[in-house]
Structure 1
Amino acid sequence: MSAPADPRAAVQRIADFYETLSPAALADLGAFYTDDARFKDPFNEVQGVPAIRGIFEHMYANLQAPRFVVTQRMVDGDQCFLVWEFRFRFRRFDTATEQVVRGGSHLRLAADGRISEHRDYWDAAEELYEKLPLVGALMRWLKRRANG
């Protein structure tokens, strides 16, 4: 696979898209992902723009004010790694506190600069489960036991 003509510009465009993502912008996913793009995170593994759109639609349906903040980016040929913070509030549980999940995305770019592979890395136990009532108390207890 050859690198996009200007991979840094492609990555900047992608980072800007994610930082301004909104429910209305989901209609534009095809401009950022190839038709057969693969997406994987700790909860999902899908292929194709409609399936990727479904993940984001689910995010907007279940969280308040979700948004991404890209804090770092590394580009090497047709690959990049974005370091990000995902900020949101729960629709249930503690609806007032802004939550922050820190993670990263490894992206492989097609020759046209769109994403052909997207793999998110983040610790679901530390970054999400520990913030939930009941489950969080159990996860913190297990962590203490494992580290004790």
Structure 2
Amino acid sequence: MDGFCIESADQIRELWSKTYNTEGKPDWSHILPYYDDNILFKDTIQEIRGIEEFKKMTERLAERSKELKMAVLRVIKEDNVVFVEWEMTILFKKTRTSVIYGASRLSISEGGKIIEQRDYYDLWGDIFDNIPSFRKPYRRFMRKHFG
């Protein structure tokens, strides 16, 4: 054991809240030691395996965005599973600010590290909702084709 173990929902809330500072640029350096070397990360656009690839993904996200903030709304832990509900406000370099609503499911290994993270969110819907010319056609398309 190296001392970097996930033990409670409050600990996750504190760690995640420190990731996004007041200047708007995220910094994952304090939380990365809590991830297992064999982390499996999945979201709506990618699947990443291993801590080195995960670090690269966090660097790409920071580079892509002019400003990034996250509000942690709820954290619930049961056994070795943690759910985090969040709102991410992101200002991409050439667009307007968008709020993305999502949740993350974290699986904790027996050693206390995050071994799997699955993020759930509607990236395009949340972004298009903030662009008047895209909002209505996108929502109409989604209702027509997906219910």
Q: Which runs of 5+ in 2 are unaligned?
A: none
Residue 136 of structure 1 deviates from its aligned partner by 4.8
Deviation at 1:87, TM superposition (A): 1.3
Provide the TM-score with structure 2 as the length reference: 0.77
Alignment match, 1:57: 59
Match of 1:78 in 2: 80
Q: CA deviation at 1:130?
A: 4.1
Q: State the secondary structure of the residue aligned to 1:58.
A: helix
| Distance in 2 separating the partners of 1:82 and 1:146 | 30
Partner secondary structure for residue 20 of structure 1: helix
Cα RMSD over matched residues?
A: 2.8
Length, aligned pairs only: 139
| d(CA) in 1 for partners of 2:132, 2:90 | 16
Residue by residue over 1:40-80, the C-alpha shift from the partner in whole angstroms, topping out at 9 and shown as x without a partner, is: 00011011111111221111111122122110111111111
Residues 26 and 69 in structure 2, CA contact (< 8 A), matched pair in contact too: no
Question: Is 1:35 equivalent to 2:43 in the alignment?
Answer: no
Partner residue in 2 for 1:7: 7
Equivalent-residue separation in structure 1 for 2:50 and 2:145 (angstroms): 39
CA contact (8 A) 1:7 1:77 kept: no
Q: Which has the higher contact order (CA 8 A, sep 6+)?
A: 1
Identity %: 21
